[in-house]
Amino acid sequence: MTSMMAFEDKSNEAVEVPTPGASMEEDAGFLLIALVVSLRSRDPSTQVGALVTDACGHILSSGFNRLSRGLDETSAGYRRDGAWLGTKYPYMLCAELDALLSCAGSDLRDHRLYTTLHPCHLCAKAIVEKGIGEVVYLEDKYPDKDFRIAAGRILAAAGVKARRPSVPWSADVVRALIRAARRE
């Protein structure tokens, strides 16, 4: 073989393309990052984090639940009780939507959305319309709520796989560690 042959033309050979399937380590790693991101939320009752990753495993964007820009970010802005217009609910931006809105890509078929909580019905629609291929979530706190059931139907109807991998750490322990580390 001459040195020229080092650049042998292999264009006609079958090329092994990495499949977008994730390993448990990869899932656990991205969910851990999403969990760290979630703690940027100033919502005193619920902190959710989300990431959009591409087929090569790069993080394209991240998001956390927050009030829409310009609104009162103090705890008063995160009220849960009382008349709907006075609560946080109409004004909240979900972590998933935050991550999707800051993701520049237009074709996200090979992309994955990692989130610390199963998406709601509103985010499920955004995930589907944006063309995300797969949703990986850490927790599923409201499996029997209508918005969660609707979200599952929306994702399934569009063929978006949603899965909840097991992770080798406790989300509550990680949250407590991060909060403790912040105080020091």
Candidate list 32, 50, 67, 94; residue touching Zn ion; CB under 5 A? 94
**What is the token pair recorded at 9?**
């033309």
Name the nearest CA neighbour of 38 among 79, 72, 66, 71.
66
Q: Which is nearer to Zn ion, 23 or 68 (CB)?
A: 68
**Residue number with CB closer to Zn ion (23 or 45):** 45
**Shorter beta-carbon distance to Zn ion: residue 111 or 118:** 118
Identity of residue 133: G
The residue whose Cβ lies closest to Zn ion is: 94
Looking at residue 159, the DSSP 8-state letter turns out to be T
Binding mask 102-141 for Zn ion (x = CB under 5 A): ------------------x-xx------------------
# of chain residues touching Zn ion (CB under 5 A): 4
Catalytic positions: 96
Length of the chain: 184
Residue 179 CB coordination number (10 Å): 10
DSSP β-ladder status, 49-53 and 59-64 = antiparallel
- By C-beta, is 123 or 160 nearer to Zn ion? 123
- Nearest-approach distance from CB 123 to Zn ion, in angstroms: 3
Rg (C-alpha) for the chain, rounded Å, is 20
Residues that bind Zn ion (CB under 5 A): 94, 120, 122-123
